[in-house]
Structure 1
């Protein structure tokens, strides 16, 4: 045994790093164990995706000092939602709803860079990297974790273990927590491209029979693209040259943003839902994709995981200020209670939307069109819908509420 900690975070991706930063200076002995060296090109979650950050996430990351003047945040001020073959569309405008913005768009790689810069400035955090968790042994007063670095293994003892190690979480598996999975039989191609007309803060979500297409503003005339295709068609789409790929995007999306050009590197991501059957065990808790992996439709994945981290950090800071045990069963029960509503509503919304928008039977087409019409005509409905999408649902953390 060579280390005693209050909190051990396993997983240094976007959510794990955010949690570690939120706990810096809290009066707790905290370590972040990362499977790879802390370099942006090595972290699998610091990839080519473009993240639509809800305003609650933007607020919190600003408050944590993650964003600085160099962070290329593109404000998200307008959203256009439509379904090919249906009547009508929903248009959300932040200014019309009395809001500054719905959030912002940022490449995952740039968020990773910002998190690494902020981690470098943490005063009390211990970073263990590279270190792969290979065994867990729960005890009455701690969890003992074996962390492997090449040929050597160290044992770490922590009063609370946090699994932030992604969709295929070792921590979740080692704790014996089951997972409910659903394969959407789709893959998402994630890339960037240039638009003929500047998006100027406008994001599009376009639904088609073959899957959704999202276009996100990145500033000037550069845009982030998420193109979903049936998994059976992913190899063909992945082999297309730039011109053929752009033609496919136009066929699916249309010409609302003018002509597309200069697509970037692209790779398919299989789309599946994975929900942990519970998010806590003795002196252990799951956050982010280890707790729930959702369809990227509606851009809720990272935002939901960040809300996990913020709520947990808030509870742990309260425990530290009173000298309470960070792994206490009562604290973990309060975490589950605070996160239950948001987790259930967000995962259900994501899954229901995929199923509703992907079905082309006539009664559903009529229902969708009526729903679009009702939402488009009601400012009250629009504002409530927007605020939930901005992350202001349930028991929000104090950091998320800071403007």
Structure 2
């Protein structure tokens, strides 16, 4: 069943064990993780499989947790020349508060804490690996427009231009992003919170080499992150109030750099040569449940979180890896991939990580954005306590590296 279905070739199969709807970063990773499992897998994507057309293969610089790096290496996604920039140290501070937290992998007896990779480069790596899959049918462009669960499968109508085609799968996976069609079609509600902020994403050049050092700087206007890349380039994520985003994005280079220095300071020396600035609205969206009859949601379809702490893709990848692990185990025993007990196990295994990570991101936004004086004092005391405790630091760092909950073995493999 290998091959790419460009448009609607009637010779391709219409019955699958697993149909993944959405070929972004998480959907593609899941398809790769299922290759060779003995399952008939299809990946349906609304756009042709080209980096410049896939919305999630964009200008962002992704901070990959070390568990994500381990898993993507184990899946042979990364080639020898993939431009991974390691994260070895993290500096966390809050403007107006006392103290800072310095997390150093070497001091904590750990390897790299993670790595930074442009989303576009990760997209390229995923597309190359998808091309090498043996047991995958890729259907693109194909947009799901109707979905109807049946006792033995799910009937899905796919559309490309004016043409439609009906397929059936024993399990449908919704990996189709924050505004998931699959989630809506299944009647799954979503809890939303608008942070009234936008993140401006770009790159800058630093005067001093970061050498594996990432910064997270909190301000009353939102967080600023600086992520290490190669050759003194750094990924910048600058959160601003939503109503200021267009104005800040339109500043000329000198004015934009001055704005960043006012928010971030001079910890990396003088910044220069900013790239194109693109704003992303920031909102939280949590699906009220992640499964339905013969269907499961992963990635942003299941939960979209604030980019603070860079947990969004990492959390979604852990969804995909856990599901792949369960599906591979089921396939080895000839079990039904859409069985309700398998989906219940997926929910159970993901519950702790999903709840803790989404709560952490949301709570941190509100905690760090509060200017109330007693809370500022408590924040400073908390920074001081964490900075002085190696045990607390190590526990905090391991969770940030993705080693939390009932983790997939792929993420644990060094």
Taking structure 1 as the reference length, the TM-score comes to 0.99
| Consecutive unaligned residues in structure 1, runs of 5 or more | none
Cα displacement (A) at 1:215: 0.1
| Consecutive unaligned residues in structure 2, runs of 5 or more | 1-9
- In the alignment, which residue of structure 1 is the partner of 2:80? 69
- Residues 1:191 and 2:190 are matched in the alignment: no
Q: For residue 128 of structure 1, give the secondary structure of its aligned residue in structure 2.
A: strand
- Equivalences, count: 403
- Residues 1:108 and 2:119 are matched in the alignment: yes
Q: For residue 371 of structure 1, give the secondary structure of its aligned residue in structure 2.
A: helix
- In the alignment, which residue of structure 2 is the partner of 1:351? 362
Cα displacement (A) at 1:220: 2.2
Q: Is the 8 A contact 1:199 1:220 kept in 2?
A: no
- In the alignment, which residue of structure 1 is the partner of 2:317? 306
- Cα distance in 2 between the residues matched to 1:111 and 1:328: 32
- In the alignment, which residue of structure 1 is the partner of 2:246? 235
In the TM superposition, what whole-angstrom CA distance separates every residue of 1:289-324 from its partner, at most 9, and x where no partner exists? 000000000000000000000000000000000000
Q: For residue 309 of structure 2, give the secondary structure of its aligned residue in structure 1.
A: coil
- Cα distance in 2 between the residues matched to 1:312 and 1:238: 39
Q: Is the 8 A contact 1:201 1:217 kept in 2?
A: yes
Find 1:223's aligned residue among 190, 214, 234. Answer: 234
- Residues 1:383 and 2:394 are matched in the alignment: yes
Find 2:407's aligned residue among 360, 376, 396. Answer: 396
- In the alignment, which residue of structure 1 is the partner of 2:3? none
Q: Is the 8 A contact 1:200 1:220 kept in 2?
A: no
- Cα distance in 1 between the residues matched to 2:409 and 2:206: 38
Q: Is the 8 A contact 1:131 1:149 kept in 2?
A: yes
In the TM superposition, what whole-angstrom CA distance separates every residue of 1:265-294 from its partner, at most 9, and x where no partner exists? 111100000000000000000000000000
In the TM superposition, what whole-angstrom CA distance separates every residue of 1:185-234 from its partner, at most 9, and x where no partner exists? 00000000100001000000000011100000012200000000000111
Q: For residue 53 of structure 1, give the secondary structure of its aligned residue in structure 2.
A: strand
In the TM superposition, what whole-angstrom CA distance separates every residue of 1:52-84 from its partner, at most 9, and x where no partner exists? 000000000000000011100000000000000
- In the alignment, which residue of structure 1 is the partner of 2:346? 335
- Cα distance in 2 between the residues matched to 1:301 and 1:113: 19
- Cα distance in 2 between the residues matched to 1:7 and 1:93: 42
Cα displacement (A) at 1:346: 0.2
Find 2:106's aligned residue among 88, 91, 95. Answer: 95
- In the alignment, which residue of structure 2 is the partner of 1:287? 298
Q: Is the 8 A contact 1:40 1:46 kept in 2?
A: yes
- Cα distance in 2 between the residues matched to 1:238 and 1:255: 21
- Cα distance in 2 between the residues matched to 1:11 and 1:253: 36
- In the alignment, which residue of structure 2 is the partner of 1:318? 329
- In the alignment, which residue of structure 2 is the partner of 1:297? 308
- In the alignment, which residue of structure 1 is the partner of 2:216? 205
